Amino acid sequence: MKKVRKVTVKKNIDMSKYINPDTGELLSSELQNVSSIQVNEETGTFSIDSKDYVRIETDALNYMKRVLSNTDTARFTEMAALLKTALNVVYNTNYPHTLESLSAYLDMTKPEVTRMCNRLMLKGLLFSGNVIRNGKKEKLYIINPFAARKRNTFTDELKDLFPDFVTFHDKGLKE
């Protein structure tokens, strides 16, 4: 749920500059037990507080524009909107996406999804690994958190999955 609120700044009032028009007394003399007064002043701006967002790093987006097609970049963004957990896993509501569910979500055939995921993996944007769930071997899709994320805290293992991206802010991404 999004919350919009006006942004205000706290401002201290100098009580020696305000005079009661009825009595002619300074505000500071009328409010002897008050040392200061603060008021909230509107800034003419507002903020949006939302828990449903995805953050794509500008450097990563520029990298994707250089090395991926517009279609792959758009599909990467669609997948990034589904991220959950400290492993940055692409989720299908309550469960990680499978090849079948991801192909349905992206409106692609399974071979097309496989080829797209291979392209994303070659560029360091995606990791795909096998896990056992309910006695079945399934693929798990993990998006590079240095490129896109919906949270700020991750497990340390992600640094090992995407070593080229750990320092990409310092060195810049290479094609």
Which of 11-20, 70-79, 121-130, 133-142 is the least confident region? 11-20
pLDDT bracket for residue 137 (50, 70, 90): confident
Tell me how far apart the alpha carbons of residues 112 and 155 are, in angstroms, rounded to a whole number.
30
Query: Could you give the dihedral angle defined by the CA atoms of residues 114, 119, 123 and 126, in that order, rounded to the nearest 10 degrees?
Result: -20
Q: Architecture of domain 55-171 in CATH?
A: Orthogonal Bundle (1.10)
- Per-domain boundaries in the chain: 3-49, 55-171
Contact criterion met (CB below 8 Å) for 15 and 25? no
| Structure tokens, 100 | 């079948």
Tell me how far apart the alpha carbons of residues 163 and 87 are, in angstroms, rounded to a whole number.
15
Query: Could you give the dihedral angle defined by the CA atoms of residues 151, 152, 155 and 156, in that order, rounded to the nearest 10 degrees?
Result: 150
